[in-house]
Structure 1
Amino acid sequence: MTDNNQESKIISKGLFWSIIFICILISGGILLLFFLNREYGCEYPVDNGLFGTYGDFIGGVVGTIVAFYSAFLLVKTLQSQENVNQSVIETNNQISIASGKELYNTLLEVFNNKFERFMTCYQNAIDNYVLEKNNELLTGRKAFEKIASEFICNDFNNNNDYLRRTQSAISEYVDFYSNNRLYLAVHFRMLYLLTSLVSTSGLETNDKVLYAKLIRGQLSESEMTMLRYNCHSEYGVKMQKFCNEFNLIKHLPVMQLLEFQEHYNNLKKVAKGENIKELIVGLDTMFITIRKYAKMVLDKDSQRNITYNGGKRYSIVMSVTEDRKKFTLELKKDCGAERRGGGTRLSSAEKALDCYDSSQLEQLFRDYLSDLFYASNFYLYNGKENVSKGNFSKNGDIITYTFVIEHEKRLALSSKQMAERGRNILES
């Protein structure tokens, strides 16, 4: 059916018979002129020269018409063939895309089956925890949370700078790991295999992110804390790559780190009548939001200034230079801010910050920035150093603490920003 339609587009029957009729008409007219006003007789010899002249004349006229028509048909044929080829290419592309999608869906289905099996093994590793405490038998995640809390609530006392404090806390974890190796080794080994499966799957980025979120959604706060120390230790070095790639500890509550125990104790001493858990959650939520904003200002296409409103008295301004090599955080405290009335209660974070004096507040944020830019990514993004003591200034009732982080290359808080640094984006 398609061939017939294509043929009719190339060869028009009306045009074809018109050409034939014109050629016959011209040939007939020439023959008529040949025979007019001539004498005929059998005794006369045939004039071959005259016949040849008339034949050449007829051939020249009719042949020219036929040649033009042949050229016309050739052009139409080539155009038709080009259209057919283009149609074949488009059809093949559609078939290729459809086949590629079908192949990818098959790959996704196979991977999903593997992921479910690995996830089951990971959950089984948690279910295998067993702890007998005070004549009470705990199993599964309850046992893990109890074991982890014994480490987190450890009486850790260290007055060194933040990085040395971190090393001491890691040493504490190594001892803890040795005492609980039976469960922790299997637990974190399965978590490593699960993240490795996603990272090397060959899936599209969006699907990888989805599966990574599924893994991250399984992690409790205690598990993120233990994962953080495990990656810092010799037992979890290989896990550092995947932990950074999938940002597994982005919601890590820093106030339950051993390095922050001094800040926790300072808060606990002052906030006697307050709900200490509420204040700790407020600080953790604030620091998680600051982490999010700091990462945003370091993105190559984002705004260079972001303000976090810490309540009626506090505000935090984060900014970066155009080349993203210098990050500045300004913590402003307005001691004269009116906080009575207004119908809005103080946030947990603001009430918590009120519990720290000036030197404690400066040290709290300095330690947090040291963790954010250096320790939390296992020193893989911006080197290994401490944030210098913040500059302090006072203008009336407003106290400003200024912290500056600089690097010879573009600062990074994500694996994406590290990849962009590798491609020399924003590098000068």
Structure 2
Amino acid sequence: MEKFYQFLFEERTASKVVIFGLMITLLMLLLFLIKGSWNFSFSESIGEDKIGQFGDFVGGFVGTLFSLVGVILFYVSLKEQRADFRTNQDALENQLEAFQQQIKEFELQREELSETRKIFEQQTKTMKNQQFESSFYSLLNVFIDNRNRISALNLFKTVITNIEANSHISDYTPTIKSIYDSYFNEYMANRAELAMYFMSLYRLFKIIEECPHLDNSEKIYYHKIIRALISKDELLVLYYNYQSEFGKNPLPIALKYNYFKHLEVLSKVEFSKTFELNARESIEMNKTLSKVRNLVYSNLEKAKELSEDDIIEEIQLYDNIFIGIYISDIIEIRLIIKNKPSSIAGINESKFKNILTYILVDILYTSQFKKFDVAFLEESTTTTENQVIYNFKFETPDE
């Protein structure tokens, strides 16, 4: 049955039906002309009824065949259109697959280009680092040569010794000014040697800071290299130089990378000459003061991050001896002493309190290279039967 339908609805079947219809028409026309009862005379009229019968035959039989041909051809056309649609759909799907494949290839190319760019950037950075390190270590050798020449003259130690000898100690603020004046005289007397040392160190600072391809961690790394080369006496000379007008330019960089992190407070002239502690007392006090400094610095950093909350923290220094920091609009530090100990860090209570006062001023102001005035500090003492509380209230240092 399926084969019959396939045969019936084909273009060649329609052609055969058309030919068959034409043949029947011609055959009927011949028969009609030959066998029909025609009277061909001009005097008589044509038999219209006979022509009508012939037309009925052609219209009824042949017309039906041609109608069938039209149906067949319409169906064949629909089949071909459907096949064309299917072919076009397949072609479109193939094009879509090809397009998706191109997209994948483009993505792979993009990834490859991205990797190539990363490699190129890394190579470029490596080349820049090599160029930087070549310049940095060449300048570092110049700095070391200058330092070694000055060290051979024992100049750093001499400068500190002369500052101690020429400074007049009376009170904290005048002491600082006297030390700065003494340093100025020492610098001017040894300017030829010291200026070259400070200049080469400053150039090292600048070459690191102005290098555009170094990130912060890399800058810290190179500053640590420099910082590791600076001795205790050098650090003291640098400290007093940066407190003066001569150190105005390098000071922000030195503070940013914490160059004076390991400078012992009691090694500064203003403390060593004022309190004259022996070696054992200095060691013990430095341990204690390190705790105080960490307490103050950590809470000052915390206060920068908080906009409203007050800061309160207390730590224990020794048995029955505590120190606390309380930050709101002002900075208050309390030294709490219970049951009156015989000594604190190997020295008497009064001397410890005086050292603490100077240390707090140094931590909040002097070591931060900020100006201090005695009006910035308010001291008070609260005494009960079993404890003494020393209160130190400071104005918050300007940024």
Q: How would you bin the TM-score normalised by the shorter chain?
A: 0.7 to 0.9
Contact 1:305 1:320 in 2 (8 A): yes
- Residue in 2 that maps onto 1:135: none
Contact 2:332 2:394 in 1 (8 A): yes
Match of residue 351, structure 1, among 342, 345, 354: 345
Q: Which has the larger radius of gyration?
A: 2
CA apart distance, 1:104? 1.9
Once the two structures are superposed, what CA deviation does each residue of 1:139-179 show, in whole Å capped at 9, x if it has no partner? 25xx13431341353253333453x4322321111011112
Matched, 1:332 2:333: no
- Residue in 2 that maps onto 1:296: 298
Once the two structures are superposed, what CA deviation does each residue of 1:303-328 show, in whole Å capped at 9, x if it has no partner? 9555444222433223434xxx6433
CA apart distance, 1:32? 4.8
- Counterpart CA distance in 1 for 2:380 and 2:157 is 41
- Residue in 2 that maps onto 1:44: 22
> Structure 1 residues 320, 93: CA separation in 2 closer, same or farther (over 3 Å shift)?
farther
> Structure 1 residues 405, 75: CA separation in 2 closer, same or farther (over 3 Å shift)?
farther
Matched, 1:84 2:105: yes
- Counterpart CA distance in 1 for 2:320 and 2:197 is 44
1:156 maps to amino acid? S
Once the two structures are superposed, what CA deviation does each residue of 1:345-364 show, in whole Å capped at 9, x if it has no partner? x9xxx424x3351xx44432
Matched, 1:365 2:365: no
Matched, 1:183 2:193: yes
Superposed CA RMSD: 3.4
Contact 2:242 2:251 in 1 (8 A): yes
- Counterpart CA distance in 2 for 1:305 and 1:83 is 60
Contact 2:241 2:247 in 1 (8 A): yes
- Residue in 2 that maps onto 1:68: 89
- Counterpart CA distance in 2 for 1:71 and 1:89 is 26
Matched, 1:317 2:318: no
Greater relative contact order (Cα < 8 A, sep 6+): 1
> Structure 1 residues 277, 292: CA separation in 2 closer, same or farther (over 3 Å shift)?
same
Matched, 1:57 2:78: yes
Matched, 1:117 2:117: no
> Structure 1 residues 262, 215: CA separation in 2 closer, same or farther (over 3 Å shift)?
same
Contact 1:320 1:327 in 2 (8 A): yes
- Counterpart CA distance in 1 for 2:181 and 2:120 is 54
Once the two structures are superposed, what CA deviation does each residue of 1:54-87 show, in whole Å capped at 9, x if it has no partner? 4431232112222332343344334333333333
2:113 maps to amino acid? N
Contact 2:381 2:389 in 1 (8 A): yes
- Counterpart CA distance in 2 for 1:62 and 1:292 is 86
Bigger proportion of residues as helix: 2
Give me the identity figure in percent.
Answer: 16
- Counterpart CA distance in 2 for 1:262 and 1:149 is 11
CA apart distance, 1:289? 4.0
- The equivalences for 1:139-150 within 5 A come to 139=152, 143-150=154-161
- Residue in 2 that maps onto 1:421: none
1:192 maps to amino acid? Y
- Residue in 1 that maps onto 2:263: 252
Q: Equivalent residue of 1:215, what SS?
A: helix
- The equivalences for 1:97-112 within 5 A come to 97-112=118-133
Gaps of 5+ in 1: 1-25, 131-138, 269-275, 340-345, 413-417, 419-428
1:193 maps to amino acid? R
- Residue in 1 that maps onto 2:282: 280
2:133 maps to amino acid? N
- Counterpart CA distance in 2 for 1:102 and 1:304 is 48
Q: Equivalent residue of 2:378, what SS?
A: coil
User: What TM-score, normalized by structure 1, do the two folds share?
Assistant: 0.70
- Counterpart CA distance in 1 for 2:162 and 2:78 is 112
CA apart distance, 1:254? 2.1
- Residue in 2 that maps onto 1:33: 9
1:292 maps to amino acid? N
1:57 maps to amino acid? L
CA apart distance, 1:124? 0.9
User: What TM-score, normalized by structure 2, do the two folds share?
Assistant: 0.74
Contact 1:362 1:390 in 2 (8 A): no
2:348 maps to amino acid? C
Gaps of 5+ in 2: 24-64
Aligned length: 346
Q: Equivalent residue of 2:365, what SS?
A: helix
